[in-house]
Chain A
C-alpha cells in the first residue's frame, strides 16, 4: 500500500509514525513551512488523514484534499474533526475508543486522590525540607465521598467502577438515563453539582457541552467541592474556574485538560488545592501503542475494502 499517501497532522507518536511509514507514503504536515507550501505539493495525493487532539481535520483541511477518503483519529475525542463535512462528502471517520478507557479513568482517580489527600502538596512539603519543622496538616478522607460524573459513557462508567471500590456513592448526569446501572441519575447538572462532593467531567465535547461547567455549576459545587476534568478544556469556563479557585468559592481542582493547551493559567501555579497534568490521560506506553495499532488497522481495513474496526462516520 505504499502508493497510498497518508497525512499525519502532528508528531503524536514515534511508533505510529514508523508503522505508517512502513505501510504507506507518509506526509508529515509539520515538516512544511507554510500551509500554501503543503497544499501545493500534496493536495491531490492524500487519501487518508491521521489526526489527534491537537490538529484534526477541520473544514479547511477537508475541502483542500479532494481525494480524501478516511480520517483515522489518534484519539477517542472527535471535537477536532468536522464530522458534518465528512458525512456530507462520504469521508469515513474512525477513532480509538476502549483501548484508552482504563488509563483515562485511572488518571481521573489519581487526580481525585491527589487533590483530596494533597499527595503532590505532601511531596513538595518533603522535598522542600519542611517535615523536620512539623507534621503535615489534616486533609479530608477520600473513601465514601459522593462522586458525581458528567457523562456516563465508557470512561465515565470506568471511573464509577473504580470509585465504588472506595465506597463512594455514585451519581451522574448524562444525555439519557442508564437504568441498568444502580447509580443515581440527575436530569440537570446543577442538581448533580449540589448533590456531590467531587464532580468529574467525562463526557464528549460538543456544541451542547461547551462550557457546561460554568459559574452556576461551580457555585453549586461550592467551597468544599472538587472539580476533576479529564474531558476537554472547553468543557469548563476556564477564567471562571480560575477566579473561583483564587477566591475560595471552589474547594479544589484536578485538571488534565485546558482551553488553550499547552497554555495553563499561571494563577493556578501557586495553589496547593489544585493538581495540574499536561493532557496525559492516555499517555502510557501500553495504551499509546494500542491506539496506534488501532489507527493502522482501521486504515488497512479501509484500503482493503474490509469493515472498519471503530467507525464513527
Chain B
C-alpha cells in the first residue's frame, strides 16, 4: 500500500486539463474580466484573440473554425457580419452588456446564432446612477462640492440656487427594465412620469407619447433609457432638446449616439437648455472639452454598471448562460431576436 501511494502520479498540470473544458472565444477582455477572470478560466478554455500576435481575421481563420460560443462586451470590436463569417460553427454570442448595438443582429438571426445578454442584472444600478445624476444637476451637488473644495464658500458667499425636483415632469425615453426602475424611484420624489417607447406598455399607467419630440414638449427632463438601434441613433437632436424649453435637462445612461452630441454641446454652451447628466458619449472615452467649462453638466465615465454587486451577478449570469448552452439547457437571459 505504501509503495502505491509513493507511485501515485501528480495531477496533470492546468494547461492540459483546460483543453477538456468547453471552448469560448473572446475578441477583447470584457470589463468584468478585470475582477473575475479566474471564475471563467476555471470552467472554460478561453481563446483570447487579443493575446495573439496575429491580426484578428487571421487568428479567427486559423484558430476559431470549430468554436461554438463567444463572450463579448460593449467594448472591443463589433461582432460584425465579417467576423461572424469567420466563425462558421458559432451558435451562441453572450454579451456582458444589456445593450446589443455592437452585434449584427440580422446576421446572427440568419445564421441561427442565439444571443444572451446581461438581462436585468444591473437595471437597479443604472437607474440609481440616472437618479443620482439628475439630483446632482438639479441641486448642483458636484458643482457646489467644487465650490466648497476651492474655499469659495467662505470668500465668495452663498452658492446660487438650484431647482426643485418635486413636481417636475420626467419624460422617460424607453420604458424597459432600466426605464421602469428609474420611473419607480422618481415617483417617490413627487415627479410626474411619462414615456415614449417602441410600443405602449399596457400594464403601466404613465402617459404614453408616440413620438419623442411630443414627449419632450411635455417634459422638464428627458432620461434616455433605450437601446441604440438604427431608429434611435441621433434621435435626441436639437429639435427634441429645445422642445423641453430653456430649463430642460437631459440625462443619458443609454448609449452616447442616441443623442446628437454636437447639437447637445451647442445647446448647452449657448444656454439653450438647462443642463445635462451624461454617463455615455459618442466616442468614448473622449468627452467634448467644451463640457468641462460648464457647471450645469455632470459627467461620468460609463460606470453605471460598475458596482461590485453587479459585476459579481454579471459574472454568475454569463457563466450560467455558457454552462446552460454547453449542457444543452435553456439560456438564462436569452435575447428574443425578432
User: Given A135-B31, A143-B124, are A119 and B158 neighbors across the interface (CB < 8 Å)?
Assistant: no
Which residues of chain A come closer than 8 Å to B164, judged between CB atoms?
102-103, 106, 284-287
Which residues of chain A come closer than 8 Å to B303, judged between CB atoms?
122, 135-136, 139
Question: In the complex, are the beta carbons of A276 and B135 less than 8 A apart?
Answer: no
- If A102-B190, A262-B157, A278-B159 are given as contacts, then 17 extra A-B residue pairs at C-beta distance below 8 Å, sorted by A number, are A102-B189, A113-B132, A114-B145, A117-B129, A117-B132, A119-B136, A120-B142, A135-B303, A140-B308, A141-B128, A142-B132, A143-B127, A261-B153, A277-B148, A285-B164, A286-B163, A286-B164
Question: In the complex, are the beta carbons of A120 and B184 less than 8 A apart?
Answer: no
Question: In the complex, are the beta carbons of B139 and A284 less than 8 A apart?
Answer: yes
20 contacts between A and B (CB under 8 A): A102-B166, A106-B135, A106-B164, A106-B165, A119-B132, A123-B136, A126-B300, A131-B301, A135-B303, A141-B124, A142-B132, A161-B188, A162-B188, A167-B124, A276-B145, A279-B158, A280-B162, A284-B139, A285-B162, A288-B161
Query: For the complex, what is the distance from the CA of A106 to the CA of B124, rounded to whole Å?
Result: 19
Query: For the complex, what is the distance from the CA of A109 to the CA of B165, rounded to whole Å?
Result: 12
B128 to chain A: closest residue by CB = A142
Query: For the complex, what is the distance from the CA of A119 to the CA of B133, rounded to whole Å?
Result: 7
Which residues of chain A come closer than 8 Å to B161, judged between CB atoms?
280, 283-285, 288
Which residues of chain B come closer than 8 Å to A278, judged between CB atoms?
144, 147-148, 153, 158-159
Question: In the complex, are the beta carbons of A162 and B189 less than 8 A apart?
Answer: yes
Question: In the complex, are the beta carbons of A141 and B125 less than 8 A apart?
Answer: yes
Question: In the complex, are the beta carbons of B301 and A276 less than 8 A apart?
Answer: no
Shortest CB distance B33–A (Å): 11
> Which residues in window 70-115 of A have CB below 8 A to B?
102-103, 106-107, 109-111, 113-114
Query: For the complex, what is the distance from the CA of A32 to the CA of B265, rounded to whole Å?
Result: 47
Query: For the complex, what is the distance from the CA of A286 to the CA of B166, rounded to whole Å?
Result: 10
B307 to chain A: closest residue by CB = A141
Number of A residues near B (Cβ < 8 Å) is 53
A215: interface (CB < 8 Å):
no
Contact digits for B289-318, partner A, Cβ 8 Å, 1 yes 0 no: 000100000111111001111110000000
A134 to chain B: closest residue by CB = B285
B198: interface (CB < 8 Å):
no
> Which residues in window 57-95 of B have CB below 8 A to A?
none
> Which residues in window 134-156 of B have CB below 8 A to A?
135-136, 138-142, 144-145, 147-149, 151, 153-154
Question: In the complex, are the beta carbons of B139 and A262 less than 8 A apart?
Answer: no
Query: For the complex, what is the distance from the CA of A279 to the CA of B308, rounded to whole Å?
Result: 32
Question: In the complex, are the beta carbons of A113 and B188 less than 8 A apart?
Answer: no
Shortest CB distance B287–A (Å): 6
Shortest CB distance A189–B (Å): 26
User: Given A110-B136, A117-B128, are A280 and B153 neighbors across the interface (CB < 8 Å)?
Assistant: no
B185: interface (CB < 8 Å):
yes
Question: In the complex, are the beta carbons of B135 and A165 less than 8 A apart?
Answer: no
Question: In the complex, are the beta carbons of A119 and B163 less than 8 A apart?
Answer: no
> Which residues in window 149-202 of A have CB below 8 A to B?
161-162, 164-167
Shortest CB distance B233–A (Å): 23
Shortest CB distance A153–B (Å): 18
A166 to chain B: closest residue by CB = B185
Query: For the complex, what is the distance from the CA of A131 to the CA of B287, rounded to whole Å?
Result: 9
Which residues of chain B come closer than 8 Å to A164, judged between CB atoms?
188
B322: interface (CB < 8 Å):
no
Query: For the complex, what is the distance from the CA of A131 to the CA of B283, rounded to whole Å?
Result: 12
Question: In the complex, are the beta carbons of B301 and A126 less than 8 A apart?
Answer: yes
Query: For the complex, what is the distance from the CA of A125 to the CA of B151, rounded to whole Å?
Result: 20
A306: interface (CB < 8 Å):
no
B35 to chain A: closest residue by CB = A138
Query: For the complex, what is the distance from the CA of A285 to the CA of B127, rounded to whole Å?
Result: 27
A41: interface (CB < 8 Å):
no
Question: In the complex, are the beta carbons of A275 and B125 less than 8 A apart?
Answer: no
Question: In the complex, are the beta carbons of B299 and A127 less than 8 A apart?
Answer: yes
Question: In the complex, are the beta carbons of A138 and B308 less than 8 A apart?
Answer: yes
B131: interface (CB < 8 Å):
yes
User: Given A135-B301, A162-B189, are A111 and B141 neighbors across the interface (CB < 8 Å)?
Assistant: yes
Question: In the complex, are the beta carbons of B307 and A119 less than 8 A apart?
Answer: no
A269 to chain B: closest residue by CB = B149
Which residues of chain A come closer than 8 Å to B128, judged between CB atoms?
113, 117, 141-143, 166
B286: interface (CB < 8 Å):
yes
Question: In the complex, are the beta carbons of B306 and A138 less than 8 A apart?
Answer: yes
Shortest CB distance B179–A (Å): 15
A263: interface (CB < 8 Å):
yes
Query: For the complex, what is the distance from the CA of A110 to the CA of B138, rounded to whole Å?
Result: 10
Query: For the complex, what is the distance from the CA of A278 to the CA of B124, rounded to whole Å?
Result: 30
Which residues of chain A come closer than 8 Å to B138, judged between CB atoms?
106, 284
Question: In the complex, are the beta carbons of A165 and B188 less than 8 A apart?
Answer: yes
Question: In the complex, are the beta carbons of B124 and A280 less than 8 A apart?
Answer: no
> Which residues in window 277-311 of A have CB below 8 A to B?
277-280, 283-288
Query: For the complex, what is the distance from the CA of A141 to the CA of B310, rounded to whole Å?
Result: 8
B144 to chain A: closest residue by CB = A277
Shortest CB distance A100–B (Å): 10
B187: interface (CB < 8 Å):
yes
Contact digits for A203-242, partner B, Cβ 8 Å, 1 yes 0 no: 0000000000000000000000000000000000000000
Question: In the complex, are the beta carbons of A131 and B285 less than 8 A apart?
Answer: yes
A35: interface (CB < 8 Å):
no
Which residues of chain A come closer than 8 Å to B141, judged between CB atoms?
107, 110-111, 114, 119-120, 275, 277
Shortest CB distance A108–B (Å): 10
B140 touches which one: A263, A280, A286 (CB < 8 A)? A280
Shortest CB distance B118–A (Å): 15
User: Given A119-B142, A280-B140, A283-B161, are A262 and B135 neighbors across the interface (CB < 8 Å)?
Assistant: no
